[in-house]
Amino acid sequence: MKRMRFYLQLSFTLVVCLFMIVPVIMSVMAGLTTNYFVGLESGLTLRWVKEVWALYADTIWLSIRLALTCLFLTVLLGVPAAYGLLRSKRRWANAIEEALLLPVAIPGLATALALLLAYGHMRGFRESWLFILIGHVLFTLPFMIRPVLAVMRGARLAELEEAAASLGAGFRQRFLGVVVPNCVGGILAGALMVVTLSIGEFNITWMLHTPLNKTLPVGLADSYASMRLEIGSAYTLIFLAMTLPLLVVIQWAGRFANRSRTP
């Protein structure tokens, strides 16, 4: 009976995995075939990948720049914010923690519209990629604060800070030498979410972008709408080739940090 239950669970898991993976494989193969409608009989080619790179390389570099800058800002803002929420004993701290979910609950188009109404009249700022960056930071910041705050709550920081203070450490030394090292796991978990969401974010970016500031998801939608299916699929291949190694590196860094902290 146990063996039968195991095989049923395994079969269900494999079916779910195939359901998710097969469309991705088909999309990748479509970007590598000469003619998708003919199939593999038409032969394999890198022609469509080269065309995508020639047409949309700037969108790829902009997405990387946006994701890394967004990550830097969310760490810079999110870690101190999580620490402030941890140390605060006031009721409004709980209200702020719940309010952090608003950018996630509110549709991205509504957030982008609010930014346009507030800052759209600033022409230079509106035409800059920094305008898109503000939208990305607003959307991804909760995904940095939440895991960092969760790690801080389980790390007994109060005792560690008290011990450091008894040795003469000031606030800056305690924060950089005690608080930050003890929440590296939360920072890396948040970084994984922030980079993934920033690179793949479409709704906010679609409302805020200009013809000179297209990101990878906007370019992907444009390629599927106005180009051959093979070009759109080749764009998907480049998207995967760019994001998967980055996510693997972040996960590897998280495991390495956890191992280094294990006695």
Q: pLDDT per residue over 92-116, tens digit each? A: 777 777 777 777 778 888 888 989 9
Q: What is the pLDDT of residue 259?
A: 64
Q: Residue 262: is its pLDDT beyond 70?
A: no
Q: What is the mean pLDDT of residues 230-252?
A: 81
All structural domains of the chain, each given as residue ranges with its CATH number in brackets, are 56-260 (1.10.3720.10)
Using the structure block, give the residue that is written with the tokens 């230079």.
124
How far apart (Å, rounded) are the C-alpha atoms in residues 45 and 39? 12
Q: pLDDT per residue over 8-66, tens digit each? A: 899 999 999 999 888 888 888 888 888 888 878 888 888 888 888 888 888 888 998 99
CA-to-CA separations, 136 to 75, 103, 150, 202, 215, in angstroms, rounded: 13, 10, 22, 10, 12
Tell me, rounded to whole angstroms, the distance of Cα 67 from its chain centroid: 7
Question: Which range in 13-17, 172-176, 181-185, 259-263 is most confidently predicted, on average pLDDT?
Answer: 13-17
How far apart (Å, rounded) are the C-alpha atoms in residues 203 and 216? 12
Q: Residue 235: is its pLDDT beyond 70?
A: yes
Half-sphere exposure of 45 (CA within 13 A, CB side): 14
Q: What is the DSSP letter of 28?
A: H
Top-confidence residue, 90 or 66: 66
Mean pLDDT of the chain: 84
Q: Residue 234: is its pLDDT beyond 90?
A: no
Q: What is the pLDDT of residue 224?
A: 80
Q: What is the pLDDT of residue 85?
A: 84
Of 78-87, 122-131, 240-249, least confident by mean pLDDT is: 240-249
Q: Which two tokens stand for residue 166?
A: 């008894």
Q: Which residues of 81-98 are buried (b: 16+ CB within 10 A; e: fewer)?
A: bbbebbeeeeeeeeeebe
Q: Residue 188: is its pLDDT beyond 80?
A: yes
pLDDT band at 76 (very low <50, low <70, confident <90, very high): very high
Q: What is the pLDDT of residue 260?
A: 57
Q: Are 234 and 31 in contact (CB under 8 A)?
A: yes
Q: pLDDT per residue over 251-261, tens digit each? A: 777 676 666 55
Q: What is the mean pLDDT of residues 126-153?
A: 89
Return the percent helix, strand and coil in the chain, to nearest 5.
85, 0, 15
For the entire predicted model, the pTM comes to 0.82
